[in-house]
């Protein structure tokens, strides 16, 4: 999977298949998952809050929690569907690449379904075994508005 | 169908000494009456003065179903007005916040108003000569909220004309706000980092009840705390923890911990949970910050301020305060079965950046729509909202540690797992709901 655009599609598919351990393994040791509260308008994760700003430790915590039978909010379990537009390469260097991928995200649980839209921005680095995520940033279209619970990973 | 509007006896009968009726959470009619009475008769948190630092800055906010406008005046005062043009009722501003300059101009017919709401001008002025406009309400400018209190930059309103003064209404629970502000060596807080907003499909009182509930964390949050404990396994208790671990692990404390933290109730529904200690008590010490606090307040007072870190302080009916980690939650009811919850973070002037980071991190981990802790809370609130529709038992139990003598004094200090903190909220509910609003 040399083309980073294939990697983006693969990453979303792992989430939609609930293969969370495999998904987490795509992150670099210093990798972050970031959903800024201001969406695309936010410059950094420190001066303003975020819906999520997680390192591998916190992502691992989420993944482990989802496996626990007493994760009450997962009865019934949530499922996601990422609908991706083609990824566009923003920047490319020898061992890293930045891409943007507009998406629709549907999360369904029981009779309820939520729909989110925005742009995913990936910063990938090349490792001996393939691409790895240094940052996955999700700029939601309506990030500042009141939201219902988002249970899985956008 | 109206059952309760003209029957204060029926409303009062919904709140017994040790239980409440399910209609409190389910009835659309009671929700409408709450908007008219409870949220108009009591002092409700609107916003923080730091949101409007410059003259002409405004923030819009709906309280008790009424669109309001908080505005900074040229003389530095903060005024609150109804966001309604005196002419036809157009909202003067529809942004959440902004700066209007030196006056408000209605977008519909260009009537203008000074920042304090006084009428400034209108087009086709000659057309009003000989009419009664000036004598009637529409000629008086914007309607002003008369009962506004800015307490250490926290802005509260009481919409009804009759009712208790701000100080009488809140009494000693104001110490919770004092403590949060005093944690700034300069005595100044500013809202920072934006507001996390959640829509929860449950009644607002259920959410507020849970803020005073210490028996749920062990069972409700088991999935999150077990995951955190497993990841932290092998570390010595004294090992410095990443901030997220420092904040999540205490949720897994046992019943004894929560019982011993203690609670206190005050008249009018207010309470402090964690009068002895709380899940926030063991955050890492910051020597430079403590030195700055001692320089500002003296050693003894600085120690008292920093040692006081309750789990939650409830300024009934809509504000919940965490002095440490300098965060508040605001409960904004939308419907009987829908509530907006806001989580705000504060920067404390003269305090290190780490304190602000703590507030943002806590809110993100615990109160974000993507929180790892709150998913289970929210699921259970929504489950209760459905479960209460089941017949058979129409009552919600609040019996734990009930003592018939507990209503005889306004302030009671007790164990942390006592449901008195919730009974006290519902007694205040019954009191406010059986008084007609005058606004």
Which residues from chain A sit within 8 angstroms of residue B194, using beta carbons? 37-38, 48-49, 144
Interface of B with A in 387-416 (CB under 8 A): none
Distance to chain A for B60, nearest Cα, Å? 15
C-beta separation of B276 from B261 below 8 A:
yes
ipTM: 0.96
Q: Identify which of B198, B199, B220 has the shortest CB distance to residue A72.
A: B220
Closest Cα in chain B to A38: B194
Percent of chain A clearing pLDDT 90 (strictly above): 98
* Residue A1 reports pLDDT greater than 80: no
Residue A32 has pLDDT above 90, yes or no: yes
Q: 């309400």: which residue's tokens?
A: B137
CATH of the domain at B89: 2.102.10.10
Residues B280 and B429 in one domain: yes
B407 and B335 together in one domain = yes
Interchain contact B197–A (C-beta under 8 A): yes
Number of Cβ atoms within 10 Å of the Cβ of B13: 11
Q: Report in angstroms the alpha-carbon separations of B71 from B52, B142, B345.
A: 7, 12, 21
Q: What is the pLDDT of residue B437?
A: 57
Give the range of the structural domain holding residue A32, as residue numbers without chain letter: 4-64+77-140
Tell me which of B99, B125, B151 is where a domain ends.
Answer: B151
Closest alpha carbon within chain A to B193: A48
Contact residues, chain A, for B375 at CB < 8 Å:
71, 73, 149, 151
Neighbour-count burial of A127, counting CB atoms closer than 10 A to its CB (0-12 exposed, 13-18 middle, 19+ buried): exposed
Tokens of B415: 């164990």
pLDDT at position B438? 56
Statement to judge: residues B174 and B230 lie in one domain: yes
Is residue B29 a part of any domain in this protein? Answer: no
Q: Judged by CB atoms within 8 Å, which residues 214-233 of B form the interface with A?
A: 219-220, 222-224, 226-228, 230-231
- Name the domain count of chain A: 1
Q: Are residues B130 and B219 in the same domain?
A: no
Distance (Å, whole) CA A99 – CA B249: 36
For residue B153, whether the previous peptide bond is cis, meaning omega lies within 30 degrees of 0, is no
**Alpha-carbon torsion (B341, B343, A142, B361), positive or negative:** negative
**Chain B residues closer than 8 Å to A57 by CB:** 231, 242, 244-245
Which of B116, B151, B186 terminates a domain? The answer is B151
Q: In this structure, is residue B306 part of a structural domain?
A: yes
Could you tell me what percent of chain A has a pLDDT over 70?
Answer: 99
Residue B22 is assigned to a structural domain of this protein: no
* One domain, residues B196 and B108: no
Torsion of CA B421, B426, B428, B431, to 10 degrees: -160
Range of the domain at B143: 46-151
Q: What is the pLDDT of residue B1?
A: 65
A149 and B374 within 8 Å at the Cβ level: the answer is: yes
Q: Chain centroid to CA B127: how far?
A: 47
- Beta-ladder partners of A61: none
Whether the predicted model's global pTM rises above the 0.90 cut: yes
Of the candidates A48, A57, A71, the beta carbon closest to that of B376 is on A71
Q: Inform me whether the C-beta atom of residue B235 falls under 8 Å from chain A C-beta atoms.
A: no
B 239-278 residues inside an 8 A Cβ radius of A: 242, 244-245, 248
A64: chain B residues, CB-CB within 8 Å: 226-227, 230-231
Note whether B293 and B222 are same-domain residues.
yes
Q: Are B347 and B180 in contact (CB under 8 A)?
A: no
Distance CA A78, CA B396 (A): 30
- Regarding whether B220 and B115 lie in a shared domain, the answer is no
Q: How many CB atoms lie within 10 A of CB B291?
A: 12
- Residue A151 covered by a domain: no
Residue A101 belongs to some domain of the structure: yes
Select from A49, A64, A151 the Cβ nearest to the Cβ of B194: A49
Closest of B262, B347, B253, B346 to residue B309, by C-alpha: B262
B427 to chain A, closest Cα gap in Å: 31
How many domains are contained in chain B? 2
Domain boundary pick from B88, B120, B151: B151
In a domain, B6, yes or no: no
Residues B90, B215 share a domain: no
Binary contact (B223, A58; C-beta < 8 A): no
Say yes or no: B174 and B105 in one domain.
no
Whether A70 maps to a domain, the answer reads no
Question: Is the residue at A154 inside a domain?
Answer: no
In a domain, A51, yes or no: yes
CA distance A1 to chain B (A): 31
**Residue A116 falls inside a structural domain:** yes
Put simply, whether B193 touches A (Cβ < 8 Å) is yes
Distance CA A68, CA B410 (A): 43
Bridge pairing between strands B319-322 and B312-315 = antiparallel
Distance CA A107, CA A151 (A): 8
* Per-residue pLDDT at A8 exceeds 90: yes
- Over residues B304-322, the pLDDT tens digits come to 999 999 999 999 999 999 9
A92 phi/psi in degrees, rounded to 5? -145, 130
Q: Within a 13 Å sphere around the CA of B373, how many CA atoms are in the beta-carbon half? A: 21
What long-range pairs does A45-50 form, CB within 8 A, spacing at least 24? A46/B357, A47/B193, A48/B192, A48/B193, A48/B194, A49/B193, A49/B194, A49/B196, A49/B345, A49/B360, A49/B363, A49/B364, A50/B364, A50/B368
| Token pair in block for residue A120 | 């995913």
Do B246 and B388 share a domain, yes or no?
Answer: yes
Note whether B105 and B186 are same-domain residues.
no
* Per-residue pLDDT tens digits of chain B, which is 439 residues long: 679 999 999 999 999 999 999 999 999 999 999 999 999 999 999 999 999 999 999 999 999 999 999 999 999 999 999 999 999 999 999 999 999 999 999 999 999 999 999 999 999 999 999 999 999 999 999 999 999 999 999 999 999 999 999 999 999 999 999 999 999 999 999 999 999 999 999 999 999 999 999 999 999 999 999 999 999 999 988 888 999 999 999 999 999 999 999 999 999 999 999 999 999 999 998 999 999 999 999 999 999 999 999 999 999 999 999 999 999 999 999 999 999 999 999 999 999 999 999 999 999 999 999 999 999 999 999 999 999 999 899 999 999 999 999 999 999 999 999 999 999 999 999 999 998 755 5
Name the closest residue on chain B to residue A57, using Cα atoms: B231
Residues B425, B295 within the same domain: yes
> What's the CATH code of the domain at A134?
3.10.450.50
B316: CATH: 3.90.380.10
């Amino acid at each position: 999977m040399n083309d980073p655009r294939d990697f983006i599609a693969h990453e979303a598919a792992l989430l939609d298949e609930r293969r969370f351990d495999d998904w987490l393994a795509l992150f670099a040791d210093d990798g972050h998952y970031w959903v800024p509260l201001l969406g695309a308008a936010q410059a950094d994760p420190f001066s303003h809050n975020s819906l999520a700003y997680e390192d591998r430790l916190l992502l691992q915590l989420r993944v482990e929690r989802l496996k626990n039978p007493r994760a009450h909010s997962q009865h019934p379990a949530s499922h996601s569907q990422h609908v991706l537009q083609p990824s566009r390469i923003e920047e490319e260097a020898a061992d890293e690449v930045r891409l943007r991928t507009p998406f629709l995200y549907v999360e369904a649980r029981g009779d309820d379904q939520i729909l989110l839209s925005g742009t995913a921005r990936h910063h990938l680095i090349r490792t001996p075994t393939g691409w790895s995520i240094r940052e996955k940033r999700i700029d939601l279209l309506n990030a500042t508005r009141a939201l219902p619970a988002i249970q899985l990973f956008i | 169908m109206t059952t309760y509007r003209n029957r204060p006896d029926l409303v009062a009968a919904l709140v017994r000494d040790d239980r409440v009726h399910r209609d409190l959470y389910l009835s659309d009619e009671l929700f409408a009456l709450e908007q008219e009475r409870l949220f108009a008769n009591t002092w409700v948190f609107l916003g923080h003065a730091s949101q409007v630092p410059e003259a002409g800055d405004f923030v819009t906010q709906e309280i008790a179903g009424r669109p309001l406008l908080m505005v900074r005046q040229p003389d530095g005062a903060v005024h609150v007005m109804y966001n309604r043009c005196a002419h036809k009722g157009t909202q003067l501003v529809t942004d959440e916040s902004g700066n209007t300059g030196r006056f408000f101009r209605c977008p519909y017919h260009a009537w203008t108003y000074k920042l304090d709401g006084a009428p400034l001008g209108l087009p086709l002025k000659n057309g009003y000569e000989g009419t009664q406009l000036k004598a009637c309400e529409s000629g008086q400018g914007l309607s002003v909220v008369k009962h506004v209190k800015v307490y250490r930059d926290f802005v509260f309103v009481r919409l009804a004309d009759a009712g208790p003064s701000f100080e009488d209404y809140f009494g000693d629970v104001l110490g919770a706000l004092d403590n949060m502000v005093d944690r700034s060596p300069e005595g100044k807080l500013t809202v920072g980092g934006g507001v996390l907003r959640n829509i929860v499909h449950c009644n607002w009182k259920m959410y507020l009840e849970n803020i005073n509930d210490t028996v749920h964390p062990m069972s409700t949050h088991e999935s999150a705390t077990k995951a955190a404990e497993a990841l932290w396994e092998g570390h010595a208790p004294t090992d410095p923890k990443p901030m997220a671990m420092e904040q999540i692990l205490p949720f897994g404390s046992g019943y004894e911990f929560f019982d011993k933290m203690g609670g206190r109730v005050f008249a009018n529904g207010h309470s402090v949970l964690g009068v002895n200690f709380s899940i926030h008590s063991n955050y890492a010490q910051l020597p430079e910050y403590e030195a700055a606090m001692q320089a500002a307040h003296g050693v003894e007072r600085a120690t008292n301020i920093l040692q006081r870190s309750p789990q939650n302080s409830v300024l009934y009916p809509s504000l919940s305060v965490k002095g440490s980690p300098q965060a508040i939650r605001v409960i904004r009811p939308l419907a009987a079965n829908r509530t907006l919850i806001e989580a705000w973070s504060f920067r404390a002037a003269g305090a290190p950046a780490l304190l602000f980071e703590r507030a943002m991190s806590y809110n993100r981990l615990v109160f974000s729509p993507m929180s790892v802790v709150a998913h289970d809370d929210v699921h259970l609130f929504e489950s209760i909202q459905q479960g209460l529709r089941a017949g058979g038992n129409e009552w919600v139990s609040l019996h734990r540690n009930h003592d018939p003598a507990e209503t005889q004094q306004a302030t009671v200090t007790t164990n942390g797992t006592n449901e008195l903190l919730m009974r006290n909220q519902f007694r205040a509910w019954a009191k406010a709901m059986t008084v007609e609003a005058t606004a």
